Amino acid sequence: MRPQTIQIYLPAGDPRGVRVAEITTRIVRVIEAPRSQLGEFVKTPEALQVGVYFLMGELSEAGLPRVYIGQSSSVGNRLAQHNQNKDFWNRVLVVISLTNSMTQTHALFLEWFAISEATKAGRYSLENGNTGARPHTPAPLEADCHEIHETAATLLATLGQPIFEPLTNAPTARGEKELFYCKGSGADGVGEYTTEGFVVLKGSQARLEIVAPLQDTARSRNREKLIEEGILVKQSESLIFTRDHLFGSPSTAASIIMGRSANGWDTWKAANGKTLDELKRQTVAPTA
């Protein structure tokens, strides 16, 4: 990570309307448009360019935002088609070149790489289905693509869509991670407290059954959706997390793991036995 200057331009002055984002020293631009204003975007010169696009939509059953990733030699025309035949999306983000130098070869590799990286990150529910085959790309163009992708990923995250950002925290300079543990009857969870909430790590074990008071509640329904989407899978006498999963709070994560109501601030503990509350909340003292 390094400091960067990002410019966001609002053509109509509306922060929820069309937004144009650039890193001031790069040639990549990301244009975001609500579906209701797609007609305005397709009339612009940028809509005639080669581009990679991201259709953003409503939440999946397990609460993950949905995305469809595509590319086109005339991105505006392709989006007009999707406006007719894809229902789930409500916003689109389009990656183009300021110098109009992106080719179809670039776009095909960027589409494949973006699907692969989004799948790896596990933040979004992909509507594409699978990554497909890696397209043949000459080495110089592939190097260009990695630079374009890096810039696009930063701009997408800045616009509120961290599609490629890891769920977990980066290791410290010594290669260490601050992990928290949640253990109980049939439960053995491992997770990280992050800037966005609490991430339960792949391989964590959740109790198979939930207690009666938790049945027919929002948390039990959330648990069922995680099972339906394959994020929680039955294995022996427990449920296993098949991938890292972000929860909005430590308590929600603990309740899913334990199969009962739980105060995550006290339930999640570091290896030294200190609670999440002691290490993260009590250290923030009010000023005099």
Q: Would 172 be classed as within a structural domain? A: no
Give whichever of 50-64, 169-183, 267-281 has the largest mean pLDDT.
267-281
Residue 131 has pLDDT above 80, yes or no: no
Please, what's the b/e burial string for 179-188 (b: 16 or more CB within 10 A of its CB; e: otherwise)?
A: ebebebebbb
Q: Would 165 be classed as within a structural domain? A: no
Q: pLDDT grade, residue 217 (50/70/90)?
A: confident
Question: pLDDT, tens digit, for every residue of 1-60?
Answer: 778 899 999 999 999 999 999 998 999 999 999 999 999 999 999 999 999 999 999 887
Q: Would 123 be classed as within a structural domain? A: yes
Residue 79 has pLDDT above 90, yes or no: yes
Quote the pTM value.
0.81
Is the same domain home to 140 and 195? Answer: no
Is the same domain home to 152 and 192? Answer: no
Is the same domain home to 122 and 209? Answer: no
Question: pLDDT, tens digit, for every residue of 227-253?
Answer: 988 899 998 889 999 989 999 899 999
Q: Would 128 be classed as within a structural domain? A: yes
The gap between the terminal CA atoms of the chain, to the nearest Å, is 34
Range of the domain at 186: 180-281
- Cα(10)–Cα(13) distance, integer angstroms: 5
**Pick from 125, 158, 191: which residue ends a domain?**
158
Q: For 73-83, what is the mean pLDDT?
A: 96
Sign of the dihedral through C-alpha 215, 194, 232, 118: positive
Q: pLDDT grade, residue 199 (50/70/90)?
A: very high
Residues 6+ apart with CB under 8 A from 184: 207, 257, 258
Q: Check: CB of residue 191 under 8 Å from CB of residue 249.
A: no
Nearest to 122 by CA among 201, 9, 240, 220: 201
Is the same domain home to 10 and 96? Answer: yes
Q: pLDDT grade, residue 210 (50/70/90)?
A: confident
Report phi then psi at 3, rounded to 5: -60, 140
Q: Would 164 be classed as within a structural domain? A: no
Is the same domain home to 148 and 195? Answer: no
Q: Would 256 be classed as within a structural domain? A: yes
- Cα(258)–Cα(191) distance, integer angstroms: 14
Give how many domains the chain has, as a whole number. 2
Q: What is the pLDDT of residue 62?
A: 67
Residue identified by tokens 């933040």 is 123
